[in-house]
Structure 1
């Protein structure tokens, strides 16, 4: 009798994203019933092809759930002051609930200054320092979309997270650090690995949950994985295949890891769709936070 080789369950991010978008559409209807239609402003500077695709997908998702969207396209020559002036106008516009400035920006514009210029209550990317600090303290704030999407997938496919050991490979402000904060809120024991970590693969093999967010194609192979772990691959890397062709791959070597892990997100089709769905969720959350702030101001 021969045993079939083990293959990890593939986590379908597309299906999970559609379920979340359906929930968001209901929340948008509830907002409209109260006389408010959530609105998202998307700012694109330059003509980066990948950014154009991301913006198009975000606007399409907004239309799907009933969120109003306003697109602001500028040439790469736009000055930093002009961009900051645009953000200031959007901050002041009560009809705009969420502001997203598509990154990366041209080299002459300070991304940090732009992020800090967005009102924390309209910062649907969740990058503003006030939101980053609030997240660490466990407050209800706008949270970076990719980590939020990862937590949604873990809730659906990983069961109760309390007490599990989670390892986050990567410490970026966009994914690694907020991911660790969210896992702590879910009562995980959390280890963060990075370029200075010693014997990283050995530490990673202790993980019940492994989040790969380093931006290096195929870096995480089976030697990093504890048998039965749930693996979330955040990496999106475009590699060339010759003759002008390319394809997207993650940070995880899916062929080897799928023989060890219990469940694994594919690339594409895993975390990516959830990131966009969580952006829509954040736009509704921003709308609700702004209504609460306005009510408190009136009461005061």
Structure 2
């Protein structure tokens, strides 16, 4: 199925015999935030893994400016804290105890596809990208940017969605990416491929998967809560529907994909 999926994403279309395995609904589900305490707890766990810092007397989560509504949502659900300088900050002892209680048992990533953990993690580190190659192939990519502390969870995501892990080095605003052998978590000798002044402390990793059908099935059930990520997913999903119906094989359909790509919103 992986090879067929790649053919779909590269805009070569689906054979009639294979379409039933890849169809998704034309109607995208309405945005649904985590409502119950359990749903929110898994969402918060993923968000913290990707963008949070939790110490004995302080909780801090960073947000992009365009997604501050998500910070206020977190504040509302916890009932304590403040939003300032693009961060949610919590000092209140009762609030911190509540967070500890919420997170109890929720940091496990053994069942990634059955709760909001991955949605929260994607809000923190992910984006949905529509790539069109020079040969006019259309490829849908689900991407994550992360640091060394996230390598374990990324490896588990890779086990679910496939894909590749890169070590990215940035020097003088020029990024160099190195594809790791067998898409595995890098060993220290592999890390030597990075530039000389690159260190584990500042190293940035990237993950990418084009298993669009499985990814859509997850995010149709467990939505991102950041406006930019949610809009990015729905546009990504819309392109998949165009591919699903083979509309991209016509000039009108391909132009539609180009218009959607120009409006990509994945800050």
Q: What's the TM-score once normalised by structure 2's chain length?
A: 0.31
Q: What's the TM-score once normalised by structure 1's chain length?
A: 0.29
Which structure: greater helix fraction?
A: 2
